[in-house]
A = this chain, B = another copy of it.
């Protein structure tokens, strides 16, 4: 006894989603075909629509439906500051802080040998062209403080050093509201190591 072929194909196709194994794919397929057929149709249409409308911003490489994304097209942003992040979600988090008014470059990835992603999978040529186009004076490396993010920052540093740019990295340390007693030793060590002078 086997599943009908179209159900099996759907289960297989759902496994392209990250974090979805055989059991969840089967559960998802049952759900789509039994409980929410309208949702299944909406999902297929949303994929098709995104596939035909989504491209990448020519300047910062984030997802965009137009040649330039909203941030890159905004003349109010500081043109001399370029912040490099891994994913669009990271850019959105920084925008939510309302403390940065420069521009971005979105890598759409990271160096992650375990996932088979190396520096060659990053748009480094496009980034170099953008960072060295004459308008940028400071590049802020805002990749994650994970092993992958640090490796990515190292690749970016190698790429952009000695090119007349100021290279900075966002700060590590205790979170706002953080207590020494409860912070992990690595973060506390880094906070001590990167201690800064107190302004009067």
Partner of A49, one of B9, B39, B50: B9
The number of residues on chain A lying at the interface, defined by a beta carbon within 8 Å of a beta carbon of chain B, is: 57
Q: Give residues 24-42 of A contacting B (CB, 8 Å).
A: 24, 26-34, 36-37, 39-42
Residues of B within 8 A of A24 (CB): 19
Residue of B nearest to A1 (CB): B95
**How many copies of this chain are found per oligomer?**
2
Partner of A16, one of B32, B69, B108: B32
Given contacts A39-B13, A47-B40, contact A6 B70 (CB under 8 A): no
Residues of B within 8 A of A37 (CB): 51
In whole angstroms, how far apart are the Cα atoms of A37 and B36 in the complex? 24
Judged by DSSP, the binding face of A is helix
Whether A54 is near chain B, meaning CB under 8 Å from some CB there, is yes
Whether A189 is near chain B, meaning CB under 8 Å from some CB there, is no
What are 15 A-to-B residue pairs whose CB atoms are below 8 Å? Answer: A3-B63, A4-B63, A6-B49, A9-B49, A10-B47, A10-B49, A14-B46, A16-B36, A16-B42, A17-B32, A19-B27, A33-B63, A34-B108, A37-B51, A44-B45
